[in-house]
Structure 1
Amino acid sequence: MTKLKNKVAYITGGTKGIGLGIAKELIKLGMRVAISGRNYADVNVVAKQLGEVDDRVLPLESDVRNIEDEKKAVQTIIDKWGRLDVLIANAGLGKFAPISEMSIEDWNSTIDTNLTGVFHSVKASVEDIKKSKGYIITIASLAGTNFFARGAAYNASKFGLVGFSQAIMLDLRQDDVKVSTIMPGSVATHFNNNEPGEKDAWKIQPEDVGQLVADLLKMHPRTLPSKVEVRPSKPPKN
């Protein structure tokens, strides 16, 4: 994976935040990048901003909660570019409430997107990733090891995602497929209804995660950082 020009990456949830930051970095490296979201019109707008649609950028409509959507997305990539080298399983959401107030709908949407959705993305792409001896990177969170009040659904999804990612790392490494999970702390995104601005300057920026992904892809294949924690270097004092 050290030679990245014209390699093909699929980024779920690639229209904003971390996913968009990763897409921008991989395009700079000469990769072809497919990005997905739930609304094609929105994805297409972002794709046009990123670069030459259909040559370097491929917009896809897919809801990761639906395995058939993910199968169709991967097949579209293969039909277009003939290969898939990198999966960035990034799509995610957060619903926060104390357990006594958490709705069944919020629990299910969190687990179905953050955990089952990643399973769907991996399941849909794993055979093509094996063929290319490629890389799967899941975007988890420090909430995958650090629990907090009001975080039952989110913690459960991210704890599960870390475990899932490490297990498939062991499943796939004899096939020359690398698997890493990135666990960011506070990132300057729209997550949880935040509006990024000057107040978020101390946080990890989406492009920082993009740089980290690029570093992983460039690393010598004998070495695998299977779990990477990343946090702001100097958060505000409480």
Structure 2
Amino acid sequence: MDIKNKVAYITGGSKGIGLGVAKSLIDEGMKVAISGRTMKTVEEAAASIESDENILALQSDVTKLGDEQNAIANISKKWGKVDVVLANAGVGHFAPVDEMKPEQWHQMIDTNLTGAFNTLQASIEALKNSKGYYMTLASLAGTNFFATGAGYNATKFGVVGFTQAAMLDLRKYDVKVTTIMPGSVATHFNGNVPDDSDTWKIQPEDIGKIVVGLLKMHPRTLPSKIEVRPTRPDLK
């Protein structure tokens, strides 16, 4: 399927997976809006992409529905439509459940889970009009629980369930819905600074290629849930 000139919106697009996907889509000739909580950071990320006419920097806090509604309105005003939405924004705090702080719990729920809901709520009418594609960036932590992961697991299990139910709700409108569930990715997540020791991990551009592949797939076929993991974790 030809995806040139289609319009995408990526939350949490200032670095890591979000930025990697944005670059992959722009390489395919798409127009891409990226958002983050701090405009300066998003503008710097947009400036790193050599395509002034095909990248749009937006400030949006996904925990606020109004912010996401404004983001979709700005994209529609600039490019006239929204074809693809990737709910990618996320945070992680890891601690035994008896040590987790309530504010950490709420930040994860509000960003990872409610944020995905807000992004879909804000974009759903635009996606119905374009017969578009909504994707969430979940995690293998959405099916595999682990010690110190009570809060993070709860949000990612929730994102997987939310996305799969949304898929059933929206396919009657020809809106496709997929959740992507990566294992270890070389990003800045949880304070990591990617370096040569991260070469065994999935790279952000690898997720970008998965998104491109989904968009190019014949519309009769829907990979609704995709697990992806490093091939050789023993190389770390």
Do they superpose with TM above 0.5? Answer: yes
Q: 1:60-97 deviations in whole A, cap 9, x for unaligned?
A: 00000000000000000011111000001000010111
Matched with 2:41 is 42
Matched with 2:56 is 58
CA distance in 1 between counterparts of 2:164 and 2:87 reads: 14
Cα distance, 1:51 vs structure 2: 3.0
Q: Paired residues, what number?
A: 236
Are the equivalent residues in 1 in contact too, given 2:181–2:225 (CA < 8 A)? yes
Q: 1:152-211 deviations in whole A, cap 9, x for unaligned?
A: 110000000000000000001110010000000000011111110111110000000000
Q: 1:129-159 deviations in whole A, cap 9, x for unaligned?
A: 0100000110000000000000011000000
CA distance in 2 between counterparts of 1:41 and 1:193 reads: 19
CA distance in 2 between counterparts of 1:20 and 1:52 reads: 13
CA distance in 1 between counterparts of 2:199 and 2:207 reads: 15
RMSD value, Cα: 1.0
CA distance in 2 between counterparts of 1:61 and 1:51 reads: 20
Amino acid aligned to 1:129:
L
CA distance in 1 between counterparts of 2:156 and 2:100 reads: 17
Percent identical pairs in the alignment equals 62
Are the equivalent residues in 1 in contact too, given 2:9–2:32 (CA < 8 A)? yes
Q: What TM-score results when the alignment is normalised by the length of structure 1?
A: 0.98
Cα distance, 1:3 vs structure 2: 1.4
Q: What TM-score results when the alignment is normalised by the length of structure 2?
A: 0.98
CA distance in 1 between counterparts of 2:50 and 2:109 reads: 33
Structure 2 regions of 5+ residues with no counterpart? none
Matched with 2:2 is 3
Secondary structure, aligned partner of 1:97:
coil
CA distance in 1 between counterparts of 2:235 and 2:32 reads: 39
Matched with 1:160 is 158
Residue pairs, 1:33-182, within 5 angstroms: 33-53=32-52, 55-182=53-180
Matched with 1:196 is 194
Secondary structure, aligned partner of 2:8:
strand
CA distance in 2 between counterparts of 1:39 and 1:51 reads: 21
Structure 1 regions of 5+ residues with no counterpart? none
